[in-house]
Structure 1
C-alpha cells in the first residue's frame, strides 16, 4: 500500500496512491506498507530512485544498510513490532531520504507510525521538511522503545515479587501455594530475547543518526540537527537502561534456578532420610528371612513379634538421632 503525504494548509495530509496514477505535486513523505513488486516498480519510475526489496533491506552488513546513491541517502534499521499483540518480533525499516522527500518502506504495522501521525496533527509546523519528518519518525521509534522498556520493567517487578515474596498459606488449604518457577524461567528467557532485539533497534537508530549527520550535513536544517541531538541522547540513555535490565534478568534467572535447586535438594533429602530410616528394619528383616536350620528364634513363641519390635526400634533410633542433630 502506498500512502503519499503532502502539505495542505501547513498540515501533512495523506493520499492513497495506486500504481498508474501520478504522484501529487509536492509529495513530502511516501509510506510503503508491505508494497507489492508493482508498487515498488511504480515508485521507482516516479521518483527515479531505487526502492529496495524486502530481501535487500534484510541484509545485515552495514554497507548494505547505510549508503548513498546518486539521488538519495538509503538507511535501514531493525525495529521491534507486534509487542501489543504479545508476539514481539524484529522487522526491518528502510528510509530513502532526499532534501525534497522521504520514502519509508516497512513490512509490518508499527505503533511508532501511529504515534507519529498523532504527533503530526499536534505539531504540524515541525513536520514540513523531509529531514524533520525523518528525525521525528526516529524520535517516535525511540519513544516506543521507551514504552516497551517500561512495560518490561513492570513485568520484571512482578516476577521479582513472585520469586522473593513469602507465600501466605491459605487457611482453607493445608499447603501454601507454590510459585511456578518453570514458568518464570520461560518468561525471563522471553524478556531477555526482547531486550536483545530492543538493543539492536537502539544501536541501529544511533547508527542512522551518526550517518545522516555526515551524509546530509550540507542541506539538513538546523532544527533537524538539534532534534537529532535529542534523539541520540535519548537512545543512548535507553541503551544504558536496557543494559541494566539485562543485568536484572540475569540476577532473577540465577535466583530462580537457585530456588529450583533448593526445591530439588529438599526432595532428594526426603528420599535420602527415608532410605536411611528403612535400612535398619530391612537389615533385621533380611536376617530373619534367612533359611538356616539352627536359628533359635524360629522356635520362639514371641519370635515374630520380637522381630517386628526390633525393626520398629531400629527405625526410631536413627530418626531420633536426625532430630537431635537438626537434620530434620
Structure 2
C-alpha cells in the first residue's frame, strides 16, 4: 500500500495525495512530501523507488529483503538511506522481536518502507493531524519524529521485561519449577535480541546528530541527539536486565541444587537408619539351629525394642550434629 502526504509551503496539507500527483508535489522544492510504503509488493516498490525517485539498486534491494538486517546508514549524496528496527507489538510473546523499517531522507522528501506493518508509522501519521511542528521544520525533523516514535515504542517492552524479571526473581525462590526456567531463558533470549538491535541503531542515530549531512539542519541535530540519549538509556537498562536475568538463572540452578540436596539428605538419613536395622534382622534371619535368642519368649519384642532404640538414638545423634 502506498500512502502519500504532501505539505505545501502555502496551503493546507494533503494527507491522502494520489500517486498521479506525486511528481508535481516533488517539483515543489519548498514543500515536503512523505511517501509511506506499508507491506508493498514488488510493483509498488518499483513504481516509487525506481521509476519515481531513482534510488540506488542496492538500497532498493535492501528494501525488498525480508530477512533481518543490521541497522545502518548509507550516504548516497542526494539522500540518506537508513535501516532501523522497530519492536513488534506482541513483544515478549512474539516469535519475532523486531521489524525492519527503511527510510530515505532527501532535502524535501521522506520515503519509508516496511514489508510488514510498523505501528510507529501509523502513530506518526495521526500525530501529523494535530502537531504542525513535525512538518513545518523540514524533512529532517519529520525523519526525527519517525525515529523518535520508533525508539519510544521500545520503552513499554523494557517495562514489560522489568516486570517479568521481578516476577521471576520471586518465583525462583518460592517455586523453581521447569516452567520458571523456560521463562527465564525466554526472557534472556528476548533481551539479548533487543540489545543486538539497539547497539547498531544507537550508532546510526549518533551519526545523524554528529556527522555533517546537507539534508540535516544543524538545528535538528539536537533533536537527533535526544533520540540518541534515549537509546543509550534503553541500552543501559537492557544491560541491567541481562545481568538480573543471569543472576535469576544462577539462583534457579542453586535453588534446584539445594532442593536436590535436601531430598538426598532425607534419603541418606533413612538409608543410614535402616542399615543397622537390616543388620540385626539379617543376623536373626540366619537359619542356624543353635541360636539361644530364638528360643526366648520375649525375643521378638526385644528385637523390636532394639530397632526402635537404634532409630531414636541415630535420629538424636543426627539432630545433635545439625545434619537435618
- TM-score of Structure 1 vs Structure 2, range by shorter chain: 0.7 to 0.9
Alignment of 1:79 with 2:86, yes or no, is yes
Quote the residue 1:104 is aligned against.
112
Deviations 1:101-134 (A, max 9, x none): 2222213333333332333233222224222121
Matched position secondary structure for 2:155: helix
Give, in angstroms, the shift of residue 271 of structure 1: 0.9
Q: Please state how far the C-alpha of 1:60 moved relative to its aligned partner.
A: 4.8
Give the equivalent residue in structure 1 for 2:61. 52
2:34 is the counterpart of 1:29: yes
Q: Following the alignment from structure 2 to structure 1, what is the Cα–Cα distance between the partners of residues 293 and 205?
A: 94
CA 215–322 in structure 1, closer or farther in 2 if over 3 Å, else same: closer
In the TM superposition, residue 139 of structure 1 has moved relative to its aligned partner by: 0.8
Q: Which whole-Å CA distance do the structure 2 matches of 1:255 and 1:238 have between them?
A: 25
Shift in Å at residue 23 of structure 1? 3.3
1:5 aligns with 2:10: no
Tell me the residue number matched to 1:150: 159
Residue 198 in structure 1 maps to residue 197 in structure 2 = no
Q: Alignment RMSD, CA only?
A: 2.8
Superposition deviation, residue 85 in structure 1: 7.9
5 Å matches for 1:121-136?
121-128=129-136, 129-136=138-145
Q: Residue 39 of structure 2 contacts residue 115 of structure 2 at CA under 8 Å; is this kept in 1?
A: yes
Q: 1:310-321 residue pairs with structure 2 within 5 A?
A: 310-321=306-317
Contact 1:81–1:108 (CA under 8 A) maintained in structure 2:
no
Instruction: In structure 1, list runs of 5 or more residues that go unmatched.
Output: 165-177
What is the CA–CA distance in structure 2 between the aligned matches of 1:217 and 1:200, rounded to whole Å?
26
Give the secondary-structure state (helix, strand or coil) at the position aligned to 2:187.
helix
How many angstroms apart in 1 are the aligned matches of 2:193 and 2:86? 8
1:178-189 to 2 correspondences below 5 Å: 179-189=175-185
More moved, 191-200 vs 81-90: 81-90
Q: 1:57 to 1:215 in 2, by over 3 A?
A: farther
Q: What SS is found at the alignment partner of 2:116?
A: coil
Tell me the TM-score normalised to structure 2 length: 0.83
Number of matched pairs: 310
For residues 222 and 10 of structure 1, the distance between their equivalents in structure 2, rounded to whole angstroms, comes to 27
Distance 1:254 1:85 in 2: 22
CA contact (8 A) 1:100 1:130 kept: yes
How far the C-alpha of 1:217 sits from its partner, in A, is: 1.9
Q: 2-side partners of 1:97 and 1:89: how far apart? A: 25
**CA-CA distance at 1:263 after TM superposition:** 1.6
Q: Distance in 2 between matches of 1:101 and 1:54?
A: 17
* Local SS of the residue matching 1:203: helix
Whether the 8 Å CA contact 1:95–1:103 is kept in 2: the answer is yes
In structure 1, the partner of 2:278 is 282
Look up the match of 1:294. Answer: 290
Do 2:181 and 2:252's aligned partners in 1 also have CA atoms closer than 8 Å? Answer: yes
- 1:91 — aligned with what? 99
* Superposition deviation, residue 228 in structure 1: 1.0
